Structure 1
């Protein structure tokens, strides 16, 4: 469990509790799609399946989610946050990981929608 002054895995802030820690398991909605995407990356790093499922739009949410324990997440680079309108946005990012000693990169353009004041991940296009 991260301590309050531990750096946030998403790389945006030096303090987890002041960054993604505000959203994981608290019910506090992320203010924008980029913040939600960063919190979802952090959830992958921490193995927080509950946050991932809760922030996945119902139209695309899997019934269950099992994370690969062999993945070591190494970093996140947000390339672009593009609001489309008040309730739709895209975030392009590259997430780096290591699986069985081999480096990998996930480059995705993700789509988000806001409903009832909460942003949700809809789906993404692998680049």
Structure 2
């Protein structure tokens, strides 16, 4: 895992890393909303923190292990947010994530479902695209 200096921009685009996703990835606190969890999971992909990704994944859908590839995550855009506030039980966050790898570029487009488990947001699964 690579950690970023606190003065660096957060990979998720939410401001300074120290004020954005760092407290979550450093296990100092838990994301208060589904969107904050989505952003922190993106940052975890960017800094290759597989343990954080597994820890924030619902046990019913979580893989036993996670091997991260060499993609560089180049940007995140939140395109949809449905509920997922601090007092909700379920939230949907749609996003576009840009990546590059050895001269190739691509995007990952996903609608992610998040649920509360033990008072904490966890990633459940990608949802089918809406028409």
Alignment length (residue pairs): 125
What is the CA distance between 1:44 and its match in structure 2? 0.2
TM-score for the superposition, normalised by structure 1: 0.92
Runs of 4+ in 1 over 3 A off after TM superposition: none
Which runs of no fewer than 5 residues in structure 1 stay unpaired?
Answer: none
Alignment of 1:11-50 (within 5 A): 11-13=13-15, 15-50=16-51
Structure 2: gaps spanning 5 or more residues: none
**Secondary structure of 2:113's partner?**
strand
Instruction: Identify the structure with the greater strand proportion.
Output: 1
Residue 76 of structure 2 aligns with which residue?
A: 76
**Residue 100 of structure 1: CA displacement?**
2.4
Structure 1 residue 126: Cα displacement: 6.4
Paired residue for 1:62?
63
